[in-house]
Amino acid sequence: MPNLTNPVAPQELLVVGAALQSGLFDTIRKGAYSLEELAQELGFDERALWTVNESLIALGYLSLNAGKYSLTPEGEEILYDETSDKYVGYALVHTFNVIKAWTTIPQVLKTGAPVPRERDQQDIKGFMYAMKRSAKEVADQVAHVCLRDLPKGCKVLDLGGGPLNYARPFAAAGARVTVQDQPEVCQMMEKTLQPHETIEFVPGDFTEGVVAGEFDMAFLGNICHIYGEEENTLLFKRVHQVLKPGGRIAILDLVRGVSKRAELFAVNMLVNTKTGGTWTLQQYTNWLEQAGFDSVQMHDIAGRQIILAKANK
């Protein structure tokens, strides 16, 4: 059913998301700044900063005492306290970027192509947090389904697994995990690895090539929606080459016609990618069979789908 009952709600999200994205909250958290000092530190226009800060005070995120700004306890909890139920944190930067991208729909309708945008470190961090948040409730179950019947110490390839949301549960279940992701993601996330975690990073673009190996299982978590038929079929063929005979491919995504979220999510891919979208089980099955897989099965975990198939070689 259509539901546009509260069209003003995004305003809070936009101003808080912008403050987080631009480093305003991070800076205020570091010390006591006056308006002039803060504007100087961040290179911001004073009038613009004053207007935004006043709105953040009205919303309850900032307070001003003796001419110095600080975060309110509620602001601190929502933006920085990962142990709190109210915590949203950097995932908000991702929501902010999603909204920015969706405002380009009128242009994309004409050109069919995303409007180019630069991504800075704050954007990557926001994306990582959003991925972590979305995986939190399902990651252990996903790992269980993907690793079922595989021996301890099995070799897993996690393509686009840089955020480590699934690599960590795979490793915790005894797998040796190779993560291939973009160099900037590997660089950021490698630092977060614990010495006991059996995870190695291999930087590289998987549309250009997949790391060599003899893997028991290859996990493609939320990456097939970034690409279209041509790239996915080629990727499945490359994955087939690096799996052991009878090895498993596991694809986690929102399957069109099965997930209730698939149609709307495809709009996000439309405005952010050249060929991405959400795909039906029939499309996945065709691409997998062309790449040399058989025994295709689908599982549902909390409204997300996992497609499993076996390398027939």
Instruction: Give the separation between CA 202 and CA 180, rounded to whole angstroms.
Output: 5
- Out of 49, 135, 251, 311, point to the residue binding ligand SAM (CB under 6 A): 135
Q: Tell whether residue 223 is a contact of ligand SAM (CB under 6 A).
A: yes
Which stretch of DSSP H or E encloses residue 74? Answer: helix 73-80
The owner of tokens 């063929």 is: 237
Our finding on whether 291 is near ligand SAM (CB under 6 A) is no
Shortest distance, CB of residue 114 to ligand SAM, whole angstroms? 14
130-158 core/surface letters (b: 16 or more CB in 10 A; e: else): bbbbbbeebbeebbeebbeebeeebbbbb
For ligand SAM, the closer of residues 15 and 185 by Cβ is 185
CA 30 to chain centroid, in Å, comes to 27
Query: b vs e for 174-211, b when ≥16 Cβ sit within 10 Å of the residue's Cβ?
Result: ebbbbbbbeeebbebbbeebeeeebbebbbbebeeebb
Smallest distance from the beta carbon of 267 to ligand SAM, in angstroms? 15
Q: Which one among 75, 126, 160, 277 touches ligand SAM, defined by CB under 6 A? A: 160
From residue 8 to residue 47, the character string flagging contacts with ligand SAM as x (rule: CB under 6 A) and all else as - is ----------------------------------------
Query: Closer CB to ligand SAM, residue 150 or residue 177?
Result: 177
- 221 near ligand SAM (CB under 6 A): yes
Instruction: With contacts defined by CB under 6 A, name the span among 8-16, 72-80, 96-104, 216-224 that binds ligand SAM.
Output: 216-224
Q: Compare residues 75 and 276 and give the one whose CB is closer to ligand SAM.
A: 276
Q: Give the active site residues.
A: 225
Q: Does 162 bind ligand SAM (CB under 6 A)?
A: yes
Binding residues vs ligand SAM (CB under 6 A) = 131, 135, 160-163, 165-166, 181-182, 185, 205-207, 221-223, 226
